[in-house]
Amino acid sequence: MVAEVLAGIALVSSAVKGIKKSIDTAKDIKDIAGSIDDLLTGAEQVEKKATVVQKKGRAGQWQNFLRLRFSSVKETGDGTSLQEVAAEVIEKKQVEREIAQMRMVVNKKFGRNTWNDII
């Protein structure tokens, strides 16, 4: 499940980069449709993830920070420790922020309700 979560986050990041790179030259929404699909697929993977014992990447960095900051909090591995809960919330917020940013970019380029029409 860790690989799936990391793949979801990587997919979101890659999709955002792809959309930003090609939005100025896109003549039609179909030119960025693949990246939008990747963005939503990655977000879904992050949303559906089960609790994992150890997170890597940004989430792991947050876990380490919180573990150092609150040394009395022990990692349980069952998804109930402060580090695990905080890391999960932060991941979801990052993905939500990326989606909101892409919604603005797409609507600016293709018209006011384009994002809602896609979703």
- 115: nearest Cα among 43, 36, 18: 36
Do residues 8 and 40 touch, judged by C-beta distance below 8 A? no
Most confident of 19-28, 42-51, 58-67: 19-28
Length of the chain: 119
In sequence order, what are the residues at sequence separation of 6 or more whose Cβ sits closer than 8 angstroms to the Cβ of residue 96? Answer: none
Q: Which amino acid is at 36?
A: I
Under the banding of pLDDT at 50, 70 and 90, the label for residue 4 is: low
The pTM score is 0.66
What's the distance, CA 100 to chain centroid? 11
Indicate the number of domains in the chain: 1
Average pLDDT over residues 63-89: 64
The pLDDT assigned to 99 comes to 92
Q: Range of 101's domain?
A: 2-118
